[in-house]
Amino acid sequence: MASIVYYGSPRQAHLEANETLPAKLDLIMEKLNIRDRVKGETVAIKLHSGSNIGYSTLHPVFVRKVVQAVREGGGTPFITDIDWDVRGAESRGYTSEVLGCPIYPSTGIADKYYYSHAHPFKSIQEWQVAGMIEDASFMINFSHVKGHPSCGFGGAIKNLALGCLTGKSRSAMHDVMHYDQYWFRELCPDRETFECILASCPHQALVEDKKNPGDIHMHFEQCNQCGRCLKAAPAGSLKINPVNFHSFQEAMAISAFTSLSTFAPGKTTHMALATHMTPVCDCFGFTSMPILPDAGIFGSDDIIALETAVLDEIGKTHLIEENIPTSMVVHTREGHPFAWLHGPYKNPYLAIEYGEKLGMGSREYQIVDVLPVEKVLSAGMMYIPAK
């Protein structure tokens, strides 16, 4: 059976507050029965509080509404995110006075409060799930949607996958992209050729390995799979192989699955705001121009259905190419707009597919618009008088 995804469009018929996204968040929370479900629960509201001078993370107006709903329902809310982003969150408007509840580092002030879970995957043996996440009895996963250099897109899965683990586990997830061998130095004849290969990448994705001079270390985040380096590299010496890219997506799915598995059935729900979507993650510490039109706000108990609906909705729009930083290049116009920017091996749907295989949810969904603009329009045109 298809999972329901509640949706609030960014479009308005009239210039009225009740047609805007914060009001539609209220409607979505009503549909998800959040107030009825949180009575007596300790509720972790997991969001990404960004860093430095970024300003495109969830606006406090949205977060405060979620906190209020939990309080009205008789739950005890707290906001949580990774330690270094919570430190300084007040400079981006996230304070307990504004939001209405405390903000805690998910793994404690020294990133040492966690529970270990075994699930071997390539170079990863254990997943260190944040203590504050696992101690909560209910979780609201509220994400801001944007691009991501490792996996094309960051939304609900990424909010949990990277945000509910210790720094050690996050590093291990990034390192897993290096697990499958991509550099074969014995097939590179000399230093001159080696340096030609490094110089061939316009995005500085290829560097000499600091620990093993003569080896290539690849910054997968910077690679859009343009293939230029393969023309400079002798046959077989360098691989731009999907398996390296896909391993991060699979690790994300396992990570989010592990965090969600610490909650009883029915004790998690997911919401995502797709506005001001930048090329890369909010953890970069700044906000660049939006690369896609706003797509709206989404809510579902099924994280896989939610992510699929978010990507499908964004896929109906177009990349705003004039807003892309001049150092980035669109070299394909196939697939999802996020993959246009980050390359086909960073297909944003992959983590969803891995997550579905793990039993996290279903890609089959039914979207329910909580306030269709057509319906509001038929209620009559609004006249705005000139003064």
Which chain residues interact with ligand SF4 by CB under 6 A? 200-201, 203, 205-206, 223-229, 240
**Rounded distance, CA 341 to CA 65, Å?**
33
Minimum distance, C-beta of residue 206 to ligand SF4, in the bound complex (Å): 5
Minimum distance, C-beta of residue 204 to ligand SF4, in the bound complex (Å): 8
Minimum distance, C-beta of residue 226 to ligand SF4, in the bound complex (Å): 4
Minimum distance, C-beta of residue 288 to ligand SF4, in the bound complex (Å): 19
| Contact status, residue 204 vs residue 177, Cβ threshold 8 Å | no
| Contact status, residue 272 vs residue 310, Cβ threshold 8 Å | yes
| Contact status, residue 242 vs residue 345, Cβ threshold 8 Å | yes
What b-and-e string marks burial along 181-193, b requiring 16 or more CB atoms within 10 Å of the CB? ebbeeeebeeeee
162 vs 206, beta carbon nearer ligand SF4: 206
216 vs 310, beta carbon nearer ligand SF4: 216
61 vs 199, beta carbon nearer ligand SF4: 199
Minimum distance, C-beta of residue 158 to ligand SF4, in the bound complex (Å): 22
Instruction: Choose among 268, 167, 151: nearest CA to 221.
Output: 151
3-state secondary structure of 122: coil
211 vs 231, beta carbon nearer ligand SF4: 231
274, β-bridge pairs: 296
Minimum distance, C-beta of residue 110 to ligand SF4, in the bound complex (Å): 36
Instruction: Choose among 309, 9, 251, 285: nearest CA to 127.
Output: 251
158 vs 346, beta carbon nearer ligand SF4: 346
Give the DSSP letter of residue 238.
B
Q: How far is CA 186 from CA 160, 180, 213, in A?
A: 40, 17, 13
Q: Determine how many CB atoms are found less than 10 A away from the CB of residue 376.
A: 18
Minimum distance, C-beta of residue 244 to ligand SF4, in the bound complex (Å): 11
327 vs 366, beta carbon nearer ligand SF4: 327
206 vs 271, beta carbon nearer ligand SF4: 206
